[in-house]
Every structure is written in structure tokens, then in C-alpha cells.
């Protein structure tokens, strides 16, 4: 796909992986619409990218609300007239043992991590198809969309859903010979502040009376792992490459696929299923 002069919308675009995508897309000559909940980081991103010569507009958007995703689309149309690329990247996640997850937290994480991409696809796909110039929809899932780790039930459920959403969309687009393509990003450890940001934006009604020792220990371990992870700019370049080459799977740590094999291996080894 040609990138020069094309318009990309990125949710969660003010920091982390989203900002890495913005940097990669800007270097490839794209015009940007960045959405986030952090006004200060949005302003900083807009200033830095504009100073580097990129046309960019920023707007606040809560992807868990359809009307705000629709407003984001309108912002893009008002500024640039069309959209070629959508990256459903905004996401949150907090570790909690499955039996302790509050229903409010279930709803919050599913609303952001799964309904956000659903709203994005529903809203932006018709816009991208309408101009006939081709385009691409990418959603950020996680290795948690392929492997179910402990302490992350709501996050795992949402990210498995994102993988299923994008895999089905990719097949549907090809069946009807659409000029639009789809991909899914399944990152491993990336140096972002997703854990800290999730705490910051957690709805007040969902906060527990006291964080348990298990949650606190798991949260610290996850943040430490992330801080030693891949740089977001490298992830952005991988997504850009997938868009340009029409690749569906975007894996930052392909060596982690052995965990997928390890998880599903018992399905074949316990004698209840027949090998193909």
C-alpha cells in the first residue's frame, strides 16, 4: 500500500505503541489523526510531529463510547476529507485473580479493549472503502490474545476477541474482494506505561477498597517486564511494514509462539482429539 499523503487514524496515539506508530507513519509521509485521553501528551505529540513537518490533528476520544469514535471519524473527515488507515490501539489492563475481578472492571476492560476495536471497525470501514483508494485496518491485540496467562482473565478475554474480530474481518474482506485489508498486532513485552495508565483511568466506581498483595505483586512484575521490552518505535515500524506488505499477523516476539503450542498441545496429547 502506498503511504505518501495517506491519512491514518491512531487511537491511544499520544504515547506508547500508538506514538510509535505515529512516528513510523509520519516518516513514511502519512498525515495523522491521533486520539487519546491524555490531553497533555496529545499536545506534546502534536507539537513535536508538526515541528518535524507532519500534518497532524489530535482529539480526545474514549473508544469505549460509540459516539466518541464517530466524532473521531468526523474530525478526520473535517480535516483531511478521507481516511486510509485505522489503528485501533487504545487499550488498558490490570492484573487480578479471576475470582476477584469486579464486574465493573470486567465491563471497563471489555468496553475499552474489545468494544473499542468493534466500534472502530464499524465506524471506519465504510469510510475507508468509500473512496476506492484502498486502505487498512489494524487492531492491537496482544500475545494475551493467543495465550491465556494467569491473573489477566478480562484482558485475555478481550484480546482473544480482538484476534477473532480481525481474523474474521480479514477473511470477509478477501471474500468480497474489498480493496481494504486488515491485520492484528500481537505484541509481547513493549516499553510502555500501560499498567500505570490503566490505574490512572480506571473508573472510580471500579476501584477496590484495597489492592490485594497478589495484584500489587503482579502489577509490579508486569511493569518491570515492560520496561525492559521492545521500544515502541520498533513496533510502529513493524505495523507500517505489515500495512505496506499486506501482512495479517504482526508479531513483535515470534519466539513467544512456542507458548501457544505449549498451551494447546494437551488438546492433542490427552487422547480426546484425533490428530489430523
| CATH assignment of the domain containing 256 | 3.40.50.720
- In angstroms and rounded to an integer, the radius of gyration of the C-alpha atoms of the chain is 19
Dihedral sign computed on CA atoms, order 249, 253, 257, 259: negative
Does 28 reside within a domain? yes
Nearest to 38 by CA among 221, 218, 192: 192
Per the DSSP assignment, residues forming a β-bridge with 230 are: 190
Please report the pLDDT score of residue 209 as a whole number: 45
Please report the pLDDT score of residue 214 as a whole number: 58
Please report the pLDDT score of residue 210 as a whole number: 42
Distance CA 122, CA 77 (A): 16
Mean pLDDT by 10 residues, the chain (276 residues): 96 97 98 97 98 98 98 98 98 91 94 98 98 98 94 96 98 97 96 76 62 57 69 98 97 90 72 52
Which residues, 6 or more positions from 32, have their beta carbon under 8 angstroms from its beta carbon?
A: 7, 8, 9, 10, 13, 22, 25, 26, 49, 54, 55, 56, 57
- Tell me which H or E stretch contains 199: helix 194-201
Does 257 reside within a domain? yes
pTM value surpassing 0.85: yes
Does 274 reside within a domain? no
**Integer CA distances (angstroms), 69 to 90, 96, 123, 151, 154, in order:** 12, 28, 7, 30, 22
Which residues, 6 or more positions from 117, have their beta carbon under 8 angstroms from its beta carbon?
A: 63, 88, 139, 162, 165, 166
Please report the pLDDT score of residue 208 as a whole number: 52
Looking from the CA of 156 toward its CB, the CA atoms found within 13 Å total 13
State how many domains the chain has.
Answer: 1
Does 276 reside within a domain? no
Quickly list DSSP for 152-189. BHHHHHHHHHHHHHHHHHHHHHHHTT-SEEEEEEE--S
Domain range holding 48?
Answer: 7-269
Does 202 reside within a domain? yes
b/e map of 186-203 (b: 16 or more CB within 10 Å)?
Answer: bbbbbbbebbebbeeebe
Please report the pLDDT score of residue 219 as a whole number: 54
Distance CA 217, CA 226 (A): 14
Please report the pLDDT score of residue 229 as a whole number: 81
Whether the CB-CB separation of 236 and 22 falls below 8 Å is answered with yes
Nearest to 183 by CA among 121, 125, 249, 231: 249
Whether the CB-CB separation of 166 and 184 falls below 8 Å is answered with yes
Does 61 reside within a domain? yes
Nearest to 173 by CA among 206, 125, 130, 221: 125
Does 161 reside within a domain? yes
Active site residues: 155
Please report the pLDDT score of residue 201 as a whole number: 80
Does 130 reside within a domain? yes
Amino acid at each position: 500500500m502506498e503511504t505518501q499523503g495517506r491519512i491514518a487514524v491512531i487511537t491511544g496515539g499520544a504515547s506508547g505503541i500508538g506514538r510509535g506508530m505515529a512516528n513510523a507513519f509520519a516518516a513514511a509521509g502519512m498525515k495523522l489523526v491521533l486520539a487519546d485521553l491524555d490531553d497533555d501528551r496529545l499536545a506534546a505529540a502534536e507539537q513535536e510531529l508538526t515541528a518535524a513537518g507532519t500534518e497532524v490533528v489530535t482529539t480526545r476520544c474514549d473508544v469505549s463510547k460509540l459516539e466518541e469514535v464517530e466524532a473521531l471519524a468526523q474530525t478526520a473527515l473535517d480535516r483531511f476529507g478521507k481516511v486510509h488507515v485505522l489503528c485501533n490501539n487504545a487499550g488498558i489492563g490490570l492484573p487480578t485473580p479471576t475470582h476477584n475481578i469486579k464486574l465493573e472492571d470486567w465491563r471497563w476492560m471489555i468496553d475499552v479493549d474489545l468494544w473499542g476495536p468493534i466500534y472502530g471497525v464499524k465506524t471506519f470501514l465504510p469510510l475507508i472503502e468509500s473512496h476506492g483508494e484502498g486502505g487498512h485496518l489494524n487492531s492491537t491485540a496482544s500475545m494475551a490474545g493467543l495465550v491465556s496467562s494467569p491473573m489477566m482473565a478480562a484482558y485475555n478475554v478481550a484480546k482473544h476477541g480482538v484476534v477473532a474480530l480481525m481474523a474474521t474481518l480479514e477473511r470477509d474482506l478477501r471474500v468480497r474482494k474489498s480493496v481494504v485489508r486488515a491485520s492484528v498486532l500481537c505484541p509481547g513485552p513493549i516499553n510502555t506505561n500501560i499498567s500505570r495508565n490503566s490505574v490512572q483511568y480506571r473508573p472510580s466506581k471500579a476501584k477496590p477498597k484495597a489492592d490485594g498483595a497478589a495484584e500489587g505483586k503482579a502489577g509490579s512484575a508486569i511493569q518491570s517486564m515492560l520496561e525492559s521490552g521492545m521500544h515502541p518505535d520498533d513496533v510502529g515500524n513493524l505495523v507500517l511494514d505489515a500495512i505496506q506488505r499486506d501482512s495479517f499477523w504482526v508479531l513483535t516476539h515470534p519466539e513467544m509462539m512456542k507458548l501457544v503450542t505449549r498451551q494447546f498441545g494437551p488438546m492433542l496429547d490427552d487422547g480426546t482429539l484425533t490428530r489430523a
